[in-house]
A and B are shown apart, each in its own frame.
Chain A
Amino acid sequence: DAGVIQSPRHEVTEMGQEVTLRCKPISGHDYLFWYRQTMMRGLELLIYFNNNVPIDDSGMPEDRFSAKMPNASFSTLKIQPSEPRDSAVYFCASSLALGLNSPLHFGNGTRLTVT
């Protein structure tokens, strides 16, 4: 299996621009998670989906952030408009289930820099 695939690996954009991050989970995994990692705040859960339905989006920082999962093999995280404080590494993860024998499988992340 190719694992969780994220694109792009790096994104540099100017403040005010729209940014779209993409994720392809592992086939057959019912859960998909978006995390943000910064030095100051560590790994923060933004939102997670079960069978393409958003379950908990309480970690989404502001209305500027939105996430979708149109089908079982694709999800996007969009920031519009972007701000310098959004600079971070964004990780997508997937898991078979949400439970004791279902660890999270992470992609290699998208490093976002907003100037």
Chain B
Amino acid sequence: GENVEQHPSTLSVQEGDSAVIKCTYSDSASNYFPWYKQELGKGPQLIIDIRSNVGEKKDQRIAVTLNKTAKHFSLHITETQPEDSAVYFCAPLMYSGGGADGLTFGKGTHLIIQP
């Protein structure tokens, strides 16, 4: 099965600074790369995703970059705000027409925004 690792496990940044979280995976056949955000007392929610044929995707202050050769993808958050404090998970997926392998989540990164 897919081996997924996230770094760092905890990240503390000053409000207004940028944050970067990296996810490495083992299955070179993975072709879908989502990031989820989990706030306290809630389930994870998708915030951004990218397909394997795209290198980068942006959505306002959030971006995801993909390096398929090195088998890692990263979440970038710029101009961080207090509401960005949460746990972030990556979940690379190998999807084919017949189904999916993986559905494995990383261990999560606890992002703390310092005021």
Contacts and interface: CB of A to CB of B under 8 A. Distances in A.
B89 interface: yes
Q: Which of A93, A98, A107 has the most CB of B within 10 A?
A: A98
Given A100-B31, A100-B32, A108 B103 contact: no
B105 A42 contact: yes
Q: Which of A43, A55, A91 has the most CB of B within 10 A?
A: A43
Q: Which of B36, B43, B106 has the most CB of A within 10 A?
A: B43
Assign chain B's interface to a size class: 20 to 34
Given A4-B43, A93-B43, A100-B95, A43 B32 contact: no
Nearest to B103: A45
A74 B110 CA distance: 32
Assign chain A's interface to a size class: 20 to 34
Interface string A91-115: 1010000111001111111000000
A42 B103 contact: no
A4 B91 CA distance: 19
A45 B93 CA distance: 13
Nearest to B106: A42
B44 A33 contact: no
B17 to A, nearest CB: 26
23 contacts: A35-B105, A42-B107, A42-B108, A43-B44, A45-B103, A45-B104, A48-B103, A55-B99, A98-B95, A98-B100, A99-B95, A99-B100, A100-B31, A100-B32, A100-B95, A103-B46, A104-B44, A104-B46, A105-B45, A105-B46, A106-B43, A109-B42, A109-B43
In the A-B complex, the 7 residue pairs with the closest CB atoms:
A106-B43, A103-B46, A43-B105, A42-B107, A98-B100, A45-B103, A100-B32
